[in-house]
Structure 1
Amino acid sequence: MKKALLLVYSLFILFPCLAIGEQEISIGHKGMTFIEFTNDLNEKYQIKIFFDKTWIENIRLKKSYSNENITDILTDIFAGTQLRFIAKDNLIVLTKYENIKQEFSLQEKVANTTKEVEYVEENKDISNLQEQEYKIHEIGTALGKKKVKLFGEVSHFESSQPLKGVEIYLLNLTKGVTSDKNGYFELDLPPGFYTLHFKFMGLKSSSRKINLRGDGRIDIQLISETQTINEIRVLAKDDKVKRTSMGLEYIQAKDIESLPSALGEPDIIKSTTMLPGVESAGEGSIGFNVRGGSADQNLILIDNAPIYYPAHFFGFFSAFNNDMIQDASLYKSSIPVQFGGRISSTYDIHSNNQIDNKINGKVGISPITTKAFLNVPLLKNKLSIMNSFRFTYSDWIVDKIDSKELVDSKANFYDLHGKINYKPNPNNQFELSYYNSKDEFQLHSDTIYNFNNFVSSLNWRHRFSEKLKMNNSGYFTSFSYDMSATEIANNAFKLTHRVNEGGFKAFLNYEKDLYTNIDMGTELKYYNISPGDMKPYSESSVVSKNNLPEESGLESALFVGIKHEFIGSITAEAGIRYSLYGNMGKREELTYLDGITSRYNILDTLSTSAGLNNIYHGPEYRISINYALNPSTSIKASYNRTRQYIHLLSNTTSISPTDTWKLSDKYLKPQIGDQVSLGFYKNIFNSTMEFSAETYYKKVQNAKDYKDGAQLFLNKYAENEVLNAEGKNYGLELFLRKNKGRFNAMVSYTYSRSYLKSKDKTGEFAVSDGDWYKAPYDKPHNIKAFFSFKLSRRFIFSTNLVYHTGRPATYPIAKYRLQGIPIIYYSERNEYRLPNYFRTDISLLVEGNLKKNKAYHTSWTFGLYNLTARNNAYSVYFRSEDSFVVGYKLSIFGNAIPTISYNIEF
């Protein structure tokens, strides 16, 4: 029988006839045997069916068929059986084989399911892969359509990772597309013969000759230029000229491995501070400020779940092991409608979702941390599980930090990050992500700090058709910390704080055609916060118990957006997100005289209802337009409005694990941001370099600041200390990047201003008499440069330079005595500045030997952080000493910090 099938397959190639899919057939009657059916089919319509008689002995027709397609008739006849069939022209072959791969056009039908036979390159033999360039691949079944859809996925040959940004084009038609983040692409073309070209930086260009007859799929694998080592680039290939979105920075995890870091480990979070418009909140701090916004105005997502404190070891380490990360997208403006909840930016991080066919892993060892990553396939091409684990032995590094406050201190952490990927079929993929971490440190006292992160998400991606796709996600995230002091029994205490968030998002993407793309969906979030619980640690402790009541809130949103490419050179995106928020459950609220929230104006205490109260809602608009002057030049404009219902109460400029999160309520209004942006983008020198200039203006309603001497610690009524201020930010970002060749570079300059204004001109909430004053994160000038030199195939030298204006500060400017009591007089808020910041880092990446066949690959990374040993000021503070006011400058790193790490990859 197999020989007969092979003979028929040969006939498919040698004797093409009319497509049977175009014929309408009337045949059969109830009870007719399959043999009789095939004889009639051959006699009346000259359609031949080849089969093994043992397969069809018990098959009889259940009805007659009138004016129906033969493929639909056969699908109905074989319903409930294991039989499949392959149909081409006037020949049909029955089969029970699960997967028959063809290089010619076939259509395979199973009971109640139709799909185009896919041409998929899975053979790991390079010679076989190269042969595909010389064959003619028949795609689809001819059905008389004027236009058909060609689609597929592009992946990396060696790693099987999907490739984003691959150029797929036809030379003769000057038509092409680029693959998305999952490597997916599609083209609408008339049937015919084509040569399809695939091009991606760092990989060998390839082509496929195709005879496109109907809708069909072709999956392609690209190989590296050299089989021994991949080219390392500064950032992922990302054409800013063509895309509509503004303020979007795309990063791949592998692209930051050569970036010098403080303690020798690649950091997907801190890499953002090398981008224009993004500033570090402080040396070693995990917080960052985007376009003049505060650190809590950034939404950080890992696999669609938010994380509240993405750091370890005072912010020196990212929460995530870089080996688990696939890519990340930072949206500074033109934030997509599916994202909401923060007014400055959304940082969307994705862990690896590729299902490998063999076990692979990586181990890294440094003087501070050890990390391990392992990816294990459980079902070939269907199910895999990956996990990474890190822990530190870092107490010795604390001793090297030049600070009296850190004498006799200690710090350690561990984290576990894992993911299960399951792809039962091409139309469905499930991803279960989980992350857990714990940090403990003690700072020159008997007080011990612990904080914990737990983040989990379940994502389901489903493809209804090539046009309609769905992505559903559910998540739960929890961040908590506790402080305890036990050595002195009378003062022993324990303080805890916790914030939980759970949510669900349903997201649909409909690609109407090559020119129109529609997004729509809904989102629901539930917040629960325990602001603080202070307890005496022992019976002999005199510490008073103070338990702040829990807060709960519900946030929901509906969103829809459309992207359309107009005839000519204009592409536009427009969308609206409508969000609604309210507090949940009974709660106590104060009433104030004349509505002024001051501890001196309290009138009464009232209780709210048990349902939803303090409701806020409103639209969030997202609009962006791209006008292409030519293929290498474009101008863009955008406007977006965002709303934020959760806030961080902190007296510091950076995020601390002991800060308090607070929900919007009657007096703490939601923050609302409106941003307008304009940009110019240019690819130069044959697209080997890119230049961009973006300017923006952002207005913020209900920005959060604090009155002088604000007491936030365990404050039940925080509105007595918080200002609902106005904010305005504006700036200019210039960016130049070279991302091809042995020498790569990235240089940016940002001019950014950030101001706040209190609504009160007099009284305890008045700041600068109600005029605009500099926000704590106002840093006008910022220069960043990164250079990477590929000295050889094994040695890569990198260096970066960072310079920015010092952040604003309030200094004492006079001292006088009133009735014999010394009084210090301070300047207006944030009138002065810390010294300007400057730092240079270097690193050298040394790859192991380049033998092709070996069990594992090794590499060394040597680095020097703060090469010039500059004492950059983290903060400045003042003390009264012997009738004098003495100022002190605190520097986190006052010396050059050497780093070294050793990695084994298998």
Structure 2
Amino acid sequence: MKLTRILHLIIILFFPLFISAQEKASLLDLIPEIETKFDVKFSYSANEVKPVFVERLSDTETLSAIIDRFNTTTLLNFKFLTERYITISSIDKTISVCGTIVTEVNEPLFGASVVVFNTTNGAVSSENGQFSLNEVPVNAKIVISFIGFEAKEFNAVDLWSHKECKTVQLKEQSELLNQVLITKFLTTGLQKSIDGSTVLNTEKFGTLPGLIEPDILQTIQVLPGVESVNESIANINVRGGTNDQNLMLWDGIKMYHSGHFFGLISAYNPYLTEKVVVSKNGTSSEFSDGVSSTVDMKTKNEVNDSFSGGFGANLLHADAFLEVPIGDKLAFHFSGRRSFTDVFTSPTYENYFERSFQDSEIETNSESISESNRSSDFSFYDFTAKLLFDLNDNHQFRANLIGINNDLDYSEVNTNNSNETESKTSNLKQENLGFGGSWKASWSDRFTTQLSGYYSKYNVDATDLRVETNQLLTQSNEVLETGLKFKSDFRISKTLNLLSGYQFTEVGILNETTVENPDYERTKKDVLLNHAGFLEVEFNNGKTYVRAGVRGNYFQKFSKLIVEPRLNVRQKLSNSFALKLQGEFKNQSATQIIDFQDDFLGVENRRWILANEENIPISESKQGSFGIEYNRNNFVFDVEGFYKHVDGITVSNQGFYNNFQFLNAIGSYDVKGVEAMISKTAQQFSTWLSYTYSINDYEFKTLTPSVFPNNVDIRHSVTLGFNYNVLRNLELSVGGIWRSGQPFTKPVEGNETVQDGNNTFVNYDTPNSNNLDDFMRLDTSLNYSFKLTNKVNTSIRVGVINLLDRKNSINTYYEVDPEDSNRAVKIENKSLGLTPNVSLRCSF
């Protein structure tokens, strides 16, 4: 009796499985049945078909339904040659794949890259970590990657959507404690790291208002506390600092020049720049030399065995980039960009030209000269090259080259009172050339070292023939910097890391002015050597993150040691809330002075100088910040209070338009404020709102008054943006900027000028006691992407800067009226007007 019950139980449990097994049949056995029933013929290889099992035929199933079912549920490709003949093969078979990407603690990864190896077919994971791809070759490889995580490779059949969508778990890279915290910050390709720095992933970069390409230095201005008071990337102000207080690194090479069109376009081609890390505070002790911020640009660093690249053009320039594999261990990367503004002048170029040169000799000296009697040629180009060699899995060698150039030629013809023709020719050239190399060695899973060196050369040269005095004026500013760095990284445990190293830097700066008729020459050259050692401990257990370090800088010329402590702490209070504390001491020995109209045609009026510890001290900063962050379901609220003190600035370094303009004085500035950011991201849209309130004051003890508002004292600044995927391949972005007006100085009312001997000067009132009108700008962009062929992705972008054509004042100063020496004439510089641009890009 018991035996009978057991048999019944076995039958009940296994009968469904038995029935299911009976429903499956060998495809090889079913083919003759289909051929007989529908009077068709199959062409196939028995070896390919034999191992395939499918559901049995239904009496009501049509031939087309059977073939569709087989195409969907098998890895074979069934294709009608005619109505009667059908081929079966695995060649050209494509499938759909899907999956969900998560971290080691099963949190979904938003924005991970999913790519069919050696093709341009790819996708980005959704806010739930999900992805899907269609038309994937059955024998293809799928590569899933994300910054800060180890990439994984799968066979396409392993992710076949006919089966259950697979969960893919990515592991954090063991050498990176500074993990990605927010995977989609503001827009695709912008990420937030656990140390508070912002990472720009240019390859996955989304659309931002007004931009038609991922311009690196325009993009960082969407971050709170980062802006440009004159809308120029050559003058980026981070928490109230000046542009020369930002450390710009390109693959470890220090750059002294950052913009084309004298500041309106970033000089760094973004298409081989893999990521950009922007740090405002709490910087690693590995870096120094920028008392306001660090912008660390890194190019692609992997040796791939596939050839890829891209090209594009807009109304200002054309560019191309290539990734060329030379072997399994060797690759070459190249990018180049050149303007065609010297051949073709678009409306975009006209707006940029007017904005860049409105207050230069080109515009001010030519107001009385007809258009036909003056001409200008402006062009720019940049290029990068990188050689990558992997000796083996443990030793990597890299060599880098970057070149940036701006060239302006201007000529005018005038007829004097004697009816004689006079001509004037001027030239301005700006160049930055850098090259470097590195050797990274992994001696074990826990210990790595890197030895790197670089050379950077910056030149700005101007030639100005002045017809009225028959004088030839030439000016030159040259910076030569050589650097060598060794660092070691030792992983003490899974949560603890030790970084240490040594850096040597030699900086030489030349300033030269020569005049012919009468002959005059002034040359000044300075050289400074700096030895630095740094040590840093980094701890991260998932809840508590601490990075504490110190850097010692010894300046050989002055026998001076500057010690710089650094601290970066983040403590999670819950899964959503975290507190963060940051602090740093930093210094820099090279700064810029501003000579206004007398320098370089009035176009590029900044020249680099070196500290001498007499009238030009080494600038030193102290900064601290504290904030709270809320991050839940891709909604981020971040508020942070900060204080920064920078000592060792000079009057000539700040560029005053007031009674202090020609004085010598050393001072400091203090800025304190609050930054707040609200952001919400989803698969179809992202939106953000940032607000910065700050008070920024100078203190020059030898001047009267000694305390007054900073030139970049912007009390209120608001940035708003919205991105929306209208269709899968159509993205719209709209955003705006509003900020309070920049301070400026008016002349004394009723006593606008003052005479000193034979010279008359503007008699300025209390410095920076007035403000320009509020700055307001609305921008928009539209991006449409499509496949030109199976291997070529194409995009068309349209961008409009200042959509409402608002006439914003970005600078105001006064000059003595040439017709009435008792009056001062107001000079007002305006921002870009309504400026459209269009780009077409292809990548393969």
Compute the TM-score of the two structures, normalised by the length of structure 2.
Answer: 0.72
Cα 1:274–1:469 change in 2 (3 A) is same
CA contact (8 A) 1:356 1:384 kept: no
1:813: how far off? 2.9
- 2:668 is the alignment partner of 1:726: yes
1:641-674 residue CA offsets vs partner (Å, 9 max, x unmatched):
1111111112569997442211111312111111
CA contact (8 A) 2:471 2:515 kept: no
Instruction: Give the corresponding residue for 1:834.
Output: 772
Name which of 738, 741, 744 aligns with 1:803. 738
Distance in 2 (alpha carbons) for counterparts of 1:779 and 1:652? 22
Number of equivalent positions? 666
How do 1:343-742 residues align onto structure 2 when only pairs under 5 Å count? 343-380=291-328, 382-393=330-341, 395-396=345-346, 397=348, 399-400=350-351, 401=354, 403=358, 406=363, 408=374, 409-442=376-409, 446-486=425-465, 488=467, 490-534=470-514, 536=516, 542-565=517-540, 569-582=543-556, 613-651=557-595, 657-667=604-614, 668-684=616-632, 686=633, 688-706=634-652, 721-742=663-684
Distance in 2 (alpha carbons) for counterparts of 1:209 and 1:819? 73
How do 1:55-70 residues align onto structure 2 when only pairs under 5 Å count? none
1:733: how far off? 0.5
Instruction: Give the corresponding residue for 1:293.
Output: 241
1:268: how far off? 0.5
Distance in 2 (alpha carbons) for counterparts of 1:209 and 1:496? 53
CA contact (8 A) 2:690 2:718 kept: yes
CA contact (8 A) 1:785 1:801 kept: yes
Instruction: Give the corresponding residue for 1:236.
Output: 189
Distance in 2 (alpha carbons) for counterparts of 1:422 and 1:300? 25
Distance in 2 (alpha carbons) for counterparts of 1:421 and 1:783? 43
Distance in 2 (alpha carbons) for counterparts of 1:164 and 1:238? 14
Distance in 1 (alpha carbons) for counterparts of 2:95 and 2:335? 34
Distance in 1 (alpha carbons) for counterparts of 2:655 and 2:278? 35
- 2:833 is the alignment partner of 1:891: no
Distance in 1 (alpha carbons) for counterparts of 2:170 and 2:537? 34
Instruction: Give the corresponding residue for 2:86.
Output: none
How do 1:164-183 residues align onto structure 2 when only pairs under 5 Å count? 181=147, 183=149
1:612-642 residue CA offsets vs partner (Å, 9 max, x unmatched):
x323212100012222101221101122111
CA contact (8 A) 2:813 2:827 kept: yes
Q: Counterpart amino acid of 2:806?
A: R
Cα 1:754–1:255 change in 2 (3 A) is farther
Cα 1:128–1:508 change in 2 (3 A) is farther
Q: Counterpart amino acid of 1:465?
A: S
Distance in 2 (alpha carbons) for counterparts of 1:513 and 1:482? 53
Q: Counterpart amino acid of 2:275?
A: D
CA contact (8 A) 1:439 1:450 kept: yes
Instruction: Give the corresponding residue for 2:803.
Output: 867
1:866: how far off? 0.5
1:555: how far off? 1.0
Cα 1:781–1:547 change in 2 (3 A) is same
CA RMSD of aligned residues (A): 4.0
Distance in 2 (alpha carbons) for counterparts of 1:205 and 1:805? 52
Distance in 2 (alpha carbons) for counterparts of 1:429 and 1:129? 34
Q: Which moved more, 1:697-706 or 1:328-337?
A: 697-706
Distance in 1 (alpha carbons) for counterparts of 2:281 and 2:754? 52
Q: Which moved more, 1:476-485 or 1:820-829?
A: 820-829
Q: Counterpart amino acid of 2:830?
A: S
Cα 1:312–1:491 change in 2 (3 A) is same
1:63-114 residue CA offsets vs partner (Å, 9 max, x unmatched):
xxxxxxxxxxxxxxxxxxxxxxxxxxxxxxxxxxxxxxxxxxxxxxxxxxxx
| SS of corresponding position for 1:492 | strand
Cα 1:356–1:752 change in 2 (3 A) is same
CA contact (8 A) 1:235 1:739 kept: no
- 2:209 is the alignment partner of 1:260: yes
Instruction: Give the corresponding residue for 1:812.
Output: 747
1:472: how far off? 2.1
Distance in 1 (alpha carbons) for counterparts of 2:777 and 2:200? 23
CA contact (8 A) 1:756 1:775 kept: yes
Q: Counterpart amino acid of 1:573?
A: R
Compute the TM-score of the two structures, normalised by the length of structure 1.
Answer: 0.67
Distance in 2 (alpha carbons) for counterparts of 1:365 and 1:754? 41
Q: Counterpart amino acid of 2:555?
A: Y
Cα 1:728–1:710 change in 2 (3 A) is closer
Distance in 2 (alpha carbons) for counterparts of 1:253 and 1:470? 27
| SS of corresponding position for 2:262 | helix
CA contact (8 A) 1:168 1:179 kept: no
- 2:785 is the alignment partner of 1:857: no
1:516-549 residue CA offsets vs partner (Å, 9 max, x unmatched):
111110111000111124253xxxxx04231313
Identity of aligned residues (%): 21
Distance in 2 (alpha carbons) for counterparts of 1:700 and 1:369? 39
Unaligned 5+ segments in structure 1 are: 1-123, 134-153, 170-177, 187-196, 199-203, 211-215, 218-229, 537-541, 583-612, 712-717, 761-765
1:205: how far off? 7.1
1:358: how far off? 1.9
Cα 1:520–1:209 change in 2 (3 A) is closer
| SS of corresponding position for 1:272 | helix
| SS of corresponding position for 2:524 | coil
Q: Counterpart amino acid of 2:462?
A: M
Distance in 2 (alpha carbons) for counterparts of 1:474 and 1:903? 34
Q: Which moved more, 1:299-308 or 1:264-273?
A: 264-273
Q: Counterpart amino acid of 1:623?
A: L
- 2:783 is the alignment partner of 1:845: yes
CA contact (8 A) 1:422 1:431 kept: yes
Cα 1:255–1:302 change in 2 (3 A) is same
How do 1:5-16 residues align onto structure 2 when only pairs under 5 Å count? none
1:297: how far off? 0.6
Instruction: Give the corresponding residue for 1:120.
Output: none
Distance in 1 (alpha carbons) for counterparts of 2:610 and 2:124? 38
